[in-house]
Amino acid sequence: MKLTTIAAAAALAVASMSASAATYVPGTYTYKVNAHNAAMTVAVTVSKHKIEKIDWSKNLETIGVGQLALEKVGGRILEKQSLGVDGVTGATISSMALKYAVGECLKQAKVSAEDLKDLKKNVEEYKALPNTMKTQVVIIGGGGSGLAAAVAASQAGADVIVLEKLGLLGGSTNVSEGALNAADPIRQPKLGIEDSVAKHIDQTLKGGHNVGNPELVKHLCEGAYPAVEWLESIGVKFKDEVGTATGALWQRSHYPATPSGNSYIRVFEKYIAEHPNVQVITDIEAKDVLKDADGRVTGVLAKHNKTGRYTLFKAEKGVIIATGGFGANVKLRQEVNTGVFKDYDLGKSIGCTNFQKSAQGSGILMGKEVGANVIGMADIQVHPCGTPGTGLMEMIRTSGRNRVFINTDGNRFVNEGAARDVLAKAIFAQKDSTYYVLVNHLRYPSLTWVDRNGAKVGDMIDLGRVVAADTLEELAAKLKMPVENLKGSIDTYNAVVRGEKKDPLGFVANNKADKVMTEGPWYACQKVPTVHHTMGGLQINADAQVLDVNGKVIPGLYAAGETTGGIHGSNRLGGNAIADCMVFGRTAGTNAAQGK
């Protein structure tokens, strides 16, 4: 497998001398530490001169991010018998939490202060990459669109190098719910759902306020179901049930059978491991896209994060920019916020669902430097599923059916099936710009039932992030809201689901998917608006080729995913982002491999 996971800038980690053998009192010791998502308990077993085992299984870290960091860091501690190992870029908090907890356990094992000091000395060494590396296709970004492009380019016969500045793969796809919108001729008819590509196109254009590029929207929607089939051909398994992502406007969202968007990434990684014509280099940051005298893009200059060395990656056939959006770049999003949310402050008080280090818009800026046209930068999407304090999408999600949105007075205030911009603006209008998503046993049959994101409501309750109650009266008391309002909200919702009345807020029930919510246990999770997706970026055509300011193709340059503009208009439908990544990533990879 040519997957160069180096904790330092695309360099291969070279085994160095392990730390000198410390002395411990044999036994198993535990320590509870605050990690990224929640507290976790770490157990360390030691013999007289060796760390024998580290158990970090009692954690709630994110699949493919924090959990991956625990595996990598824990493995390195055992291998090197040292705490002086690198953390995983992009999962720093999880990495540091584990190292700290292990250190505290070793203190319990009576390690001496001198030995502990030695154990914390850095034991990593790095060998820099060559000054120049040649391949056929270079992809900047190892998220969903970048890896989709890599697989497609590989299938088209090209040699590929993927450059990822974090220490892990997946980007925003990795931490998404994984919803992929597609008009499905097999699943939807079995569920009694009427749909078509034409309907998907129409809703995408209208949902984006009719400013999306019809050519790109057509390519997206026509390619969505073929992308589902393509993903299945390389190992992704989708559920038979087709759901509705938040703001999807229709029941066409396909979800992987295993939890979350990380499912796609695991399949891509497996493919890469089995195909030596694809090499992935992590912890390396692309700095410049390069052109020759004829104006053709020929390569990428990138910097190793820890060695500080630069490498020139020459691309014989093409370069693909797939670096995501700029949702975490507060300064940039404030500068360009003249669109749908121009009347709202999208500054530091509003969180972001994306990786802080990667969602900075670097690919957009690099493309601009070589003459690419940039469009739609004012089109920023705010999602209703933010966690107070961070903006991350965690705990009970707003997607799906059988959930009610209530404000702090216990009243429904918006059509739960509305577009995301409508939902977010309605939340901003509530007291303290917050609300609760309310579900019951229909969504969580038991405290230990695992949802599609790999989470249990029992753990959410233990963390104090979800309020549980057997009755609405009890819930109203816990949330300090008028019980008559809360009951009235549920009664109205149930009447709409039963078909007894038309919802004054506009919610339209699905007679197969929506059920009346009458019995507890009830679960309420507080939410806030959060920046989720930036729809602006590099202008492309339906071949995923980047266009210049005159509308002409920049030879050798392609782009896919959130780094592009023009597809979603000024509001993206929930479930269209993964479709975008897969459809345009696949298109970019195939065309770049052919040097089109």
Tell me 364's DSSP state: H
3-state secondary structure 102-142: HHHHHHHCCCCHHHHHHHCCCCCEEECCCCEEEEEEEEECC
Tokens encoding 353: 């669902």
Task: Name the nearest CA neighbour of 404 among 290, 499, 491.
Answer: 491
Catalytic residues, by residue number, are: 420
Q: What is the rounded distance in angstroms from the CA atom of residue 353 to the CA atom of residue 387?
A: 9
Tell me 15's DSSP state: P
Task: Name the nearest CA neighbour of 475 among 486, 465, 488, 464.
Answer: 486
Torsion, Cα of 94, 95, 100, 106 (10° steps): 120
Do residues 289 and 297 touch, judged by C-beta distance below 8 A? Answer: yes
Q: What is the rounded distance in angstroms from the CA atom of residue 559 to the CA atom of residue 562?
A: 9
Tokens encoding 516: 């009346």
Task: Name the nearest CA neighbour of 329 among 259, 293, 377, 261.
Answer: 377
Q: What is the rounded distance in angstroms from the CA atom of residue 17 to the CA atom of residue 125?
A: 10
Tokens encoding 574: 């929930």
List of residues 6+ apart from 591 with CB closer than 8 A: 318, 543, 544, 545, 558
Q: How far is CA 408 from CA 196, 382, 387, 430, 480, in A?
A: 39, 20, 16, 8, 8
Tokens encoding 124: 């990593």
Burial of 182 from C-beta contacts in 10 A (0-12 / 13-18 / 19+)? buried
